[in-house]
Amino acid sequence: MTSLASCIFCKIIKGEIPSFKLIETELAYSFLDIGPLAKGHSLIIPKVHAEKLHELPDSSLTDILSIAKKIALALECENYNILQNNGRIAHQEVGHVHFHVIPKPAGSDKEG
């Protein structure tokens, strides 16, 4: 379990770790992923610390999804994935709920 004190995403929200901020609301924060799977890959996180989605108060969800829609519009990308991992076996590396927004540019489904 990740404690609030050691949580890197809580530190990003507080400005203790730098990030490339995209959109911030009262309850949520978004920024570019440090290891992007595609150009413009971003993360949206609640400001309240919760490790997994089922532990997150519903009150954060409206802001998170509203930011996701704004980012999708700004990307001008017809195709994109919203991904959200919970638990180590499910590939969650950072123990603070986060939603990935991953653009899928035209042609990115083809090999080579």
User: Which residue, 52 or 70, is less far from ligand 5GP as judged by CB?
Assistant: 52
Structure tokens given for 14: 């507080």
* In the complex, minimum distance from the CB of residue 95 to Zn ion, in angstroms, rounded to a whole number: 7
Q: Could you give the 3-state DSSP secondary structure of residue 65?
A: helix
Per CB under 6 A, contacts with ligand 5GP among 10-69 are 17, 19, 31-35, 43
**Does 98 contact Zn ion by CB under 5 A?**
no
90's tokens: 């499910």
Burial class (CB within 10 angstroms; exposed 0-12, middle 13-18, buried 19+) of 4: exposed
The secondary element (H helix, E strand) that includes residue 9 is helix 8-14
Choose which of 7, 12, 44, 102 interacts with Zn ion (CB under 5 A): 7
Closest Cα partner for 101 from 80, 85, 86? 80
Query: Closest approach of Cβ 16 to Zn ion, in Å?
Result: 12
Task: Report the interface residues with Zn ion, using CB under 5 A.
Answer: 7, 9-10, 49, 96
- Interaction site with ligand 5GP (CB under 6 A): 8, 17, 19, 31-35, 43, 85, 91-94
